[in-house]
Amino acid sequence: MSTTTQAPQAPRGAAPTRAQSLQRPRLPRWAPLLVALGAVAGAALLGLLLGWGLLSTGFVALLLFVVLMPVWSLVVENRRAAVDRLMTSLVWSAFLVALVPLLSLIWTVVSKGAPQINATFLTFSQFRTDLSQPVGIYHALIGTLLITLGATVIAVPIGIFTAIYIVEYGQKGRLARSITFLVDVMTGIPSIVAGLFAFALWILLFGPSARAGLGGSIALAILMIPIVVRSTEEMLRLVPDDLREASYALGVPKWRTIAKVVLPTALGGIVTGVTLAIARVVGETAPLLLIAGLTTRTNFNLFDGRMTTLPVLIFTQNANPGIPPPSGGEPPGIGIAWGGAFVLIVIVMLLNLVARVVGKYFAPKTGH
């Protein structure tokens, strides 16, 4: 007969021993908020006494929080929890530091550019027939849309077909590896280098005085192609090989498998990559200033004549703002530059929003 021996129980009311204590003390959930308030109060007091600015006071408050929170955790909890809270504080601090200039930029552009937006500002160009005529950014807005559209028409087919060759045909061959290396190098090319290349090619073909929006489209296409290639390549690699093999087993040719199976499956990611590539180049200034040039007229012909874009307009208006009004205030070019910057940011935000919506809409449906 076997007997069962029970462990002796501690007397009622006695403190638990080390073996019985399975959970160490934890800081309350409101501890980070309390430390944050204390850090802000301490930094504000130091700022008032020493005459610091808002930026210096905020940096000291952030530093106090990063130091005090792990110390308190080390005293109450344990070393592992203190290290965890230290890394969490550093991550949140990095996020806030990155958020400050972004919010500051958006606030500055919106506060100075939004008051300039009206029907006249968006429907009039800078070409005047008399001195009383109002001016706007219509010619630059049309130029931006046409040049970006031309760059998209050039870059998207080249980028997609290059990615298809790398993934579907070249695979790990020497030519495919060489193309991938060159694409990676092109990704880091400064925009002015692409502009100089397109400018040299343009004047070699059409003469040193030739200027046209198509040249700007070529320069932007050089910057877009690497982004389209890399994004499309990654999306094609995510398509399961089972889909390709099932299509081959039914006797479908490879080109038709790519067109009817692979590309539709990766369409959401491809469209997202193309949209982000457009948002990347829509704000370029240097290549367009060299090739497309500057004009005050609205030019709808992409193949002939100078064509102004929003980034070039912003640069030139800020560099040559004009004469300040007699009543005082900023020169008229500064307001035009801020209004153009606001419109450009809105365009970029809309492109990113479209990329997310399109990517979500065309994403492969999950489930059974």
Is there a single domain that holds both residue 95 and residue 244? Answer: no
Q: Is residue 316 part of a domain?
A: yes
In percent, the amount of the chain with pLDDT more than 70 equals 92
Hey, which residues does 212 pair with through a beta bridge? 305
Q: Is residue 367 part of a domain?
A: no
Give the per-residue pLDDT at 288: 87
pLDDT beyond 50 at 263? yes
| Mean pLDDT in residue range 167-194 | 87
Looking at the structure, do residues 218 and 353 belong to the same domain, yes or no? yes
Kindly list the distances between the CA atom of residue 288 and the CA atoms of 199, 214, 245, in Å, as whole numbers in the listed order: 9, 10, 46
Q: Is residue 17 part of a domain?
A: no
What's the longest Cα–Cα distance across the chain? Answer: 115
Enter the tokens of residue 246.
């099932």
CB 294 within 8 A of CB 308: yes
Same domain, 95 and 160: no
pLDDT over threshold 50, residue 368: no
- Pick the more confident residue, 360 or 309: 309
- The verdict on 202 and 275 lying in the same domain is yes
Q: What is the mean pLDDT of residues 28-35?
A: 87
Q: Give the three-class secondary structure for 212.
A: strand
Q: Is the pLDDT of residue 310 over 50?
A: yes
Same domain, 97 and 147: no
pLDDT of residue 20: 45
Residue 194 makes CB contacts below 8 A (sequence gap 6+) with 219, 222, 223, 287
**Amino acid 126: pLDDT:** 85
Please write the tens of the pLDDT for every residue from 2-28: 455 455 555 555 555 544 445 678 888
Residues 178 and 146 in one domain: yes
CA distance readout (Å), 354 to 144, 150, 153, 231, 351: 18, 19, 18, 16, 5
185 and 251 in a common domain:
yes
Do 194 and 69 share a structural domain? no
Token pair recorded at residue 102:
């972004």
CA distance 314 to 321: 10
Find the mean pLDDT for residues 21-47: 83
What six digits make up the tokens of 84? Answer: 């965890």
The arithmetic mean of pLDDT across residues 68-78, rounded, is 87
Q: Looking at residue 85, what is its pLDDT?
A: 87
Residue 323: DSSP 8-state: P
Q: Are residues 61 and 176 in the same domain?
A: no
The mean pLDDT of 297-326, rounded to a whole number, is 87
Q: Domain range holding 49?
A: 31-115
- pLDDT tens digits for range 196-210: 888 888 888 888 888
Residues 6+ apart with CB under 8 A from 24: 77, 78
| Eight-state DSSP code of residue 364 | P
Report the mean per-residue pLDDT for the chain.
85
Most confident of the following: 56-70, 71-85, 122-136, 147-161:
147-161
* Residue 16 belongs to a domain: no
pLDDT at position 345: 92
How confident is the model at residue 26, as a pLDDT? 83
Q: Is residue 201 part of a domain?
A: yes
Last residue of a domain, one of 65, 83, 115: 115
Query: What is the average pLDDT across 180-188?
Result: 88
Bridge partners for 126 per DSSP: none
pLDDT of residue 109: 92
- What is the mean predicted confidence (pLDDT) over 339-363? 85
pLDDT digits (tens, 9 = 90+) for 82-100: 898 889 888 988 898 888 8
Q: What is the pLDDT of residue 19?
A: 46
Tokens of 31: 């501890």
Average pLDDT over residues 107-113: 92
Contact 127, 359 (CB under 8 A): no
pLDDT digits (tens, 9 = 90+) for 231-242: 999 999 988 889
Tell me phi and psi for residue 75, to 5 degrees: -75, -45
Q: H/E element holding 216?
A: helix 213-237
92 and 179 belong to one structural domain: no
pLDDT for residue 366 is more than 70: no
Residue 243 has pLDDT above 70, yes or no: yes
Residue 57: predicted pLDDT: 87
pLDDT for 289: 85
Domain of 298, CATH number, reads: 1.10.3720.10
**Are residue 185 and residue 242 in the same domain, yes or no?**
yes
Q: Are residues 109 and 143 in the same domain?
A: no
Residue 103 exposure: Cα atoms within 13 Å on the Cβ side = 6
Q: Count CB neighbours of 224 within 10 A.
A: 26
- Using CA atoms, how far residue 93 sits from 88, 104, 329, 347, in Å, is 8, 17, 39, 30
Q: What pLDDT score was predicted for residue 327?
A: 77
Asked whether residue 12 is assigned to any structural domain, the reply reads no
Residue 5 lies in a domain: no
Q: How many whole angstroms separate alpha carbon 303 and alpha carbon 351?
A: 25
Residue 123 has pLDDT above 80, yes or no: yes
pLDDT tens profile 139-159: 999 999 999 999 999 999 999
How many independent structural domains does the chain possess?
2
Confidence of residue 221 (pLDDT cuts 50, 70, 90): very high
| Position 363 pLDDT exceeds 90 | no
Please give the model's pTM, rounded to 2 decimal places.
0.80
